[in-house]
A and B are shown apart, each in its own frame.
Chain A
Amino acid sequence: MGQASTAETYLMIENVWKAFGDFYALKDISLEVNRGEFVCFLGPSGCGKTTLLRAIAGLDIQTRGSVHQDGKDISALPPSERDFGIVFQSYALFPNLTVAKNIAFGLENSGIAKSDIDKRVAELLELVGLPEQAEKYPAQLSGGQQQRIALARAIAMSPGLLLLDEPLSALDAKVRVHLRHEVKDLQRKLGVTTIMVTHDQEEALAMADRIVVMNHGVIEQVGTPTDVYREPVSLFVADFIGETNQLACVADNKGKGVSIGARKLKSAPHTHADGRDVTAVIRPEDIIPHGDGARSPGAPDKISEPGNTVETTVDEMEFLGSFWRTRLSSAELGDGQIVADFSINAVRRMDIEVGGRMRIEIPSDRLKVFAAGAEPDT
């Protein structure tokens, strides 16, 4: 991952606005995508991610702002004069044409010899792993197979840019996960610059080189999956990607901590003046469990930040296969519950059980502080 740092810019989006009547679906979007990069537009429905994709494709051209592809200003060009392949959630396969004819649709009528077309179609079918299906009609294929054909068709003409509009959303969960890897592999093999729109954060995290998190027509954050997951720049991003605990607090300690009631906690550095209402965010898996001391005497249970530990009661435990989701409450932190994910190992070792008491540690560098009030709406 993160391979894009030295690559050249392939797609440059500058100050793009898109109006539908009085409503602005995109507000001053600027973004650069590097050659060969796999970028995901991620956000809740209505955030403008599809609008942005359609603007890049020329399907719904932006109201203002420019788009450059490979150094060329394509801001006003119609789709047919741009260089991209596209895959839609609906696959949009031509139902009356066979798989081979679907893939060949763009190749025919472009001066390529028929034998070459046949060769290319076979090659593409091979590439998407469906070499036997050439003469079938789309309706005879499963959803996953159809989507692979759509992909093959989109890359048939070796476009410079591959656009994927929620390509996996219509598939069932298992196929979806499987196809993620296939699509990603294919993209890597071809080296084609790819933009995928999705509302599924897992999909984005798994596939993207970089994720563009959008909300209300603006870009909230651009970064690698680990960046946006671990270092969200806004409460929205933190909330939208992954699970979070959100604690209503007051800024404290000159940008290095928060307080909840009388309780003070150290936090990652922030810019909020003391006394301001803020929201502190911690992910469940970042919470470190400690035994109550009595039950695990010999355990190497070193507390690294003693000031950031909290006494809690275990209210509920849910076994999710690879870990335990645990709901804790603590008088110190007000009425709210805290969700923490503990490894099976830790639960067994520390004998954590419902009704028991336990101490948790909130690592200060994982406790992110954002301005309060901006209610995230997921």
Chain B
Amino acid sequence: MPTSSSPRTWLRSQLGLILIVLALAALPFVIGLLNGQSISDVLANAKGNAKFIQGLMIEVFILAIFAISYDLILGITGLLSFGHAMFFAVGSYLTGVALKSFGWSLGQTILAVLAAGVIQALLFGIVLPRVKGITFALVTLGLASVFDILIKTRELGEYTGSDVGLQGIPRPPILDPTDQRLRFYFVALAFTLLVFLLYKRFVDSPTGRVCIAIRENENRARMLGYNTFYFKLAALTLSSLTAAMAGLLNALYKPIVSPEIAGLGFTVDGLLMLLIGGMGTLSGAMVGAGIFRLLDFYFDRWFGEASSFLIGGLYVLLVLFVPYGFVGAWRARALDFRRGRARLLHLFGGRGGD
């Protein structure tokens, strides 16, 4: 039955993650050194390529949190939502309005965003027992569209900035993205890592396993005595909370909260990130977010107006030739490799197991 793993085995299994985190922690300093800056320059947030790359990576982290939150409900639990952008946008707009119009502290704003995260999950949860599949997707799109329309109305323009977007949000000095860029970078990195570990824990927990069972066959999960509604609601709530917190980081980092983040297009961006990285893999969502943002940035820089066309073509090729995403394909190959190795060992050495 379940075997306990030693700390050494655990460390070995997490080696990839540890190396990636260390590399990301070192990235600002390495970029700084490569561009002739000293470590103290980087620590002092001096202008230069290191600061610029930190900014780009902060955007990647925010998108990665958004993408992993979408992966939990779509890739893990199998709930197709076309309104996921709303979870993110509510966090962003609420942060902007709370800091700018209400003059709330960062702590109060975080609490408000968490409360909003729960409320919007419950709102989606109301329709959960009644609709499923594409109908659920359309209902969530409808709910998100209402929010999209609301933030663009002139009547609320004083708070939301209407079509133009919400500008002039006062940043807490402790997390000012200009003066404290490096601190913001590490906060975003730490939060991304925390979300990833939390999600891994959730998916590996009995509740997460039931979510996977629901994705595979909800009736089968019910036949085991599970009221699947509560499990879907749990996934939805965790996802909504996380996306709203990503929205909070977005509002703190970006000079303007654009209404585009509330539209269907942003949900589709999230879907694209999952397809690139590998749906239902968690780490794939993060890889997908990185590729998505970096491709967008560098293609725009290199090819200008032609970049959208080229990126579109590239995504078509990716979906055709890497249908399970990069992480999905990697896992499949690793499994094939392990099977092949076991077969060879069995053939030549009489061991290797099954």
Please indicate whether A and B come from the same complex rather than being unrelated chains: no
Question: Contact residues of A with B, CB < 8 Å?
Answer: none
Interface residues, chain B, with chain A CB atoms under 8 Å away: none
